[in-house]
Amino acid sequence: MLYKICDINSIQGNCMKVFQLKIKSNVIDVLIGKINGKLFACNNYCPHRGASLSKSDLSPSNFRIMCYLHDFEYDLTTGKLEKIPIKWSNQNSEWKKSDNLVLYKIIEKDNKIYLDIP
């Protein structure tokens, strides 16, 4: 199902914004951003410990987002965890576990951004 989110011009280069989306009886926070002219959309919560990714840093050189809380890096193309900082190497393996980032398919149509969410 397509959900209209915003105008394309609402998302500036190498920036991101949070939008609340109501799906049935659930409300989800979606983070939409643009890196080097390419849009991405993901769940706003880090799959490691739930921190808000909207407070995090984008890495334009490798199309990643680095969570501000523990510096875990996720690929915004695949959603996969790509890097855990060495400072956490002595942590328990259970603590270092993380799911993949939840990504959403973006459709640009008539100067609007839509998300395709099943």
Q: What tens digit of pLDDT does each residue of 47-59 get? A: 999 999 999 999 9
Residue 118: predicted pLDDT: 79
Is residue 24 scored above 90 in pLDDT? no
* pLDDT at residue number 81: 97
Measured at the CA of 63, the angle between CA 57 and CA 64, to 5 degrees, comes to: 45
CA 56 remoteness from chain centre:
10
Q: How confident is the model at residue 9 (pLDDT cuts 50, 70, 90)?
A: very high
The pLDDT, as a whole number, for residue 113 is: 97
Over residues 77-88, the mean pLDDT reads 96
Task: State the pTM of this model.
Answer: 0.93
Assigned CATH for 2-116:
2.102.10.10
Nearest to 7 by CA among 108, 76, 106: 108
